[in-house]
Amino acid sequence: MPWQHKIRNLTGKPVGISLTNGQGISGILCGVSGSKVLVIEYLYQAQFALKQYDYFMIQDINGFPTCQNSQPLY
């Protein structure tokens, strides 16, 4: 499925984004504005940034998988 069709179901959720230059990004998908995808990314400590990525920069977007182990690890 093309990534453009995934946006509706992934908005507000943690995602991994593959860029066409080979880099990867992770964050919360906020939605789209024009031809840009909006993602909140963690910077450091308690700082976050809303970043914009043009459609042509994106190769794919995937939601994070759920945790398989519900038991706490000690």
Q: What is the rounded CA–CA span in Å between residue 55 and residue 74? A: 42
Q: Give the model's pLDDT for residue 66.
A: 85
List C-alpha distances in Å: 29 to 46, 68, 69, 73: 18, 22, 25, 29
* CATH for 3-63, options being 2.30.30.100, 3.30.300.130, 3.40.930.10, 3.90.960.10: 2.30.30.100
CA 56 to chain CA centroid, Å, is: 15
Q: Could you give the 3-state DSSP secondary structure of residue 37?
A: strand
pTM of the model: 0.84
Q: Give the model's pLDDT for residue 54.
A: 95
Q: Give the model's pLDDT for residue 73.
A: 65
13-72 confidence digits (pLDDT tens): 999 999 999 999 999 999 999 999 999 999 999 999 999 999 999 999 999 998 877 677
The full set of domain ranges for the chain reads 3-63
29-44 confidence digits (pLDDT tens): 999 999 999 999 999 9
Contact 30, 48 (CB under 8 A): no
